[in-house]
Amino acid sequence: MTEIKKNLQEIVSVRMLPEVEAYIEDLHKLLVNNTASEDDMNVIKDMESFMVELQNILEAIETDMISDVQAQEVYENMMDLIEESEAV
């Protein structure tokens, strides 16, 4: 496995997926407490879709279905997302 794929795999599995899962869990607590707004419901759907995409990225890496160029592009996008979230 190339270095960029290892880096992408690490950022997705160690950073992105746990954060998304924790956020979804927090949003689900709103559902349990019947305090979720329509916006919250939309965010839950979006975050669940994002989680599936992250899982698909990991699968593409593991099955070598993603090129180094694609991996680099996705990695850069992930790093941009992380930087944006840390700036808030």
Total-model pTM: 0.88
| Contacts by residues 44-51 (CB-CB < 8 Å, ≥ 24 positions apart) | 47/20, 47/23, 48/24, 50/20, 51/17, 51/20, 51/21, 51/24
pLDDT at 85: 85
For the stretch 61-88, pLDDT in tens is 999 999 999 999 999 999 998 899 888 7
The count of structural domains within the chain is 1
DSSP state of 78: H
- For residue 36, give both structure tokens: 């979720």
Structural domain harbouring 30: 3-87
For the stretch 26-67, pLDDT in tens is 999 998 999 989 999 999 999 999 999 999 999 999 999 999
pLDDT at 86: 87
